[in-house]
């Protein structure tokens, strides 16, 4: 299987990405749309949500309920992504040990996590019973 995206830029630093029947705008300067790193962080968090839910099911937490992930990315002096962190809150009451098991399993399942260099794999914390 191959995934295909067509990226078109008429001028400047903004581009429209044609993904199947969807158009997603990304602006490298972050003026008219999310910038490239914000888009990467959003993709990482969005990929991690289903991985977290499946990881929870595989580790005895049938339904995590509402999931919120604050994704942060620290930049180095060259404005390149240096580190990523996830602060995860779930509705389900999950103890610390189970939460860590779910986090680790979700990283094993997350396809964006696999695509990043190891130094950018997110540090993660989880808070159960958060809602």
Whole-structure pTM value: 0.92
pLDDT digits (tens, 9 = 90+) for 46-64: 999 999 999 999 999 999 9
CA-based radius of gyration for the chain: 17
36-127 folds as GMP Synthetase; Chain A, domain 3 (3.30.300)
Q: How confident is the model at residue 76 (pLDDT cuts 50, 70, 90)?
A: very high
Domain positions in the chain are: 1-34, 36-127
Strands (E), the chain: 6-8, 14-19, 22-27, 67-75, 81-90, 123-127
pLDDT digits (tens, 9 = 90+) for 8-35: 999 999 999 999 999 999 999 999 999 9
CB atoms within 10 A of CB 77: 6
Give the model's pLDDT for residue 98. Answer: 96
């Amino acid at each position: 299987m191959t995934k295909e995206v067509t990226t078109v830029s008429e001028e400047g630093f903004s581009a429209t990405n044609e993904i199947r029947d969807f158009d997603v705008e990304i602006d490298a300067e972050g003026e008219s749309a999310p910038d490239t790193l914000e888009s990467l962080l959003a993709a990482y968090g969005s990929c991690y949500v289903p991985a977290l839910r499946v990881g929870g099911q595989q580790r005895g937490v049938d339904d995590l309920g509402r999931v919120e992930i604050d994704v942060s990315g620290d930049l180095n002096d060259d404005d390149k992504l240096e580190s990523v962190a996830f602060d995860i809150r779930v509705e389900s009451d999950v103890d610390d040990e189970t939460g860590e098991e779910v986090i680790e399993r979700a990283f094993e399942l997350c396809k964006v996590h696999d695509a990043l260099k190891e130094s950018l794999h997110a540090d993660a914390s989880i808070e159960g019973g958060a809602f």
